[in-house]
Amino acid sequence: MNPSSSLLAFARIFALSILLALGVRAHAQTDPLPSWNDGPAKQAIVAFMQTTTDQSSMKFVPPAERIATFDQDGTLWVEHPMYSFVMYALERVPALAKAKPELAKVEPFKTVLSRNREAMAKLTLRDLEKIIAATFTGMSVDQFNAEVANWITTAKDPRFDRLYTELVYQPMLEVLSYLRENGYKTYIVTGGGQDFVRVYSERVYGIPPEQVVGTAGVVKYGYRKDGTPFLTKEPKLLLNDNDAGKPEGIHLMIGRRPYAAFGNSTGDQQMLEYTGAGNGARLMMLVMHDDAKREYAYGPAQGLPKTKVGTLTQVLYDEAKAKGWIVISMKNDWNRIFSFEQ
């Protein structure tokens, strides 16, 4: 090797080092939340992440304790005009009536089978509970899972003409990834059926079944005729994972208080309160549906009744403001709502 070739080699290595250094810096500066506009919501998420993962911070959170919980309906995906699990229940009724013809003659199943939209709109909460009980229980866990897996990969939302799993909010998927990249375990804590959400949670949200907490019924262990054990879904509620049931469910299933919690309605109030009551840095956020054009508009911006259950009421909005929770405006904070938008 002569001196000039040695110098050339050195220059090459030097240039490579600089490129590598630039590359690392460029990577570090990649925006983890590209679908978020700059503003207080995005800033709050970034600040929380920096504070809780910086070892020199007073509010550093040890990796083992990094838990973040997310409501699903209205927080991670579209919940209007009806929760997807209710759509599932309604759309399962014909198959159910085929298997049990006696159901076709009794309400509320008769109305659902009539496909009369006007009559269906008058179904009460009690009616819906009956339909959910009939379609979510009385079968083996395996059978239920197979039925949901089939529905979720074929059924479409009428307005968007998309699979329900395409109607997840891109900005929230980015928050989930950003949290996980920073060592947070992400959980769904949903009022919807736990077994229902577990069918697709890993594929859609990157959240494994064991990190889905939801409304759960009793399952019963038994044996088939050949001695094979199996679990049956019984029509008996074990955990109503709404309202106070959310922190109760978090204690049962996780056993740690979250450091971050995301919701969008009165059903999430207690989860956010419980999260906020912990020491150190805590992040509480509520998604406000104020974008009628790209998604839907409902909640305080639309002057809904003060106490309407299942939305971001004025009362909840006021609590959020008083307690320093961040209200996310879909309209202003999100430059993209769905991944299929361009």
C-beta closer to its own copies: residue 236 or 294: 236
Instruction: Report CA-CA distances (Å) from 77 to 83, 242, 264.
Output: 10, 17, 11
Please report how close the Cβ of residue 248 comes to its own copies at its closest, in angstroms. Answer: 5
Please report how close the Cβ of residue 162 comes to its own copies at its closest, in angstroms. Answer: 26
Please report how close the Cβ of residue 193 comes to its own copies at its closest, in angstroms. Answer: 12
Q: Which residues contact 290 (CB under 8 A, 6 or more apart)?
A: 297, 299, 301, 302, 329, 330, 331, 332
The answer to whether 186 touches 210, Cβ cutoff 8 Å, is: no
Please report how close the Cβ of residue 264 comes to its own copies at its closest, in angstroms. Answer: 19
C-beta closer to its own copies: residue 90 or 152: 152
C-beta closer to its own copies: residue 247 or 263: 247
Q: Is 200 helix (H, G, I), strand (E, B) or coil?
A: coil
**Using CB under 8 A as the criterion, which residues of the chain lie in contact with its own copies when the complex forms?**
1, 64, 67, 141, 185, 194-195, 198, 202, 208-210, 212, 216, 218-221, 228-231, 238-239, 244-245, 247-248, 251-256, 270, 273-274, 277
| Count of all residues that appear for the chain in the document | 342
Residue 257 in tokens = 């208080």
C-beta closer to its own copies: residue 242 or 313: 242
Please report how close the Cβ of residue 76 comes to its own copies at its closest, in angstroms. Answer: 18
* CA-angle at 341, arms to 338 and 342, nearest 5°: 145
Q: Is the dihedral of CA 155, 76, 198, 240 positive or negative?
A: negative
C-beta closer to its own copies: residue 277 or 309: 277
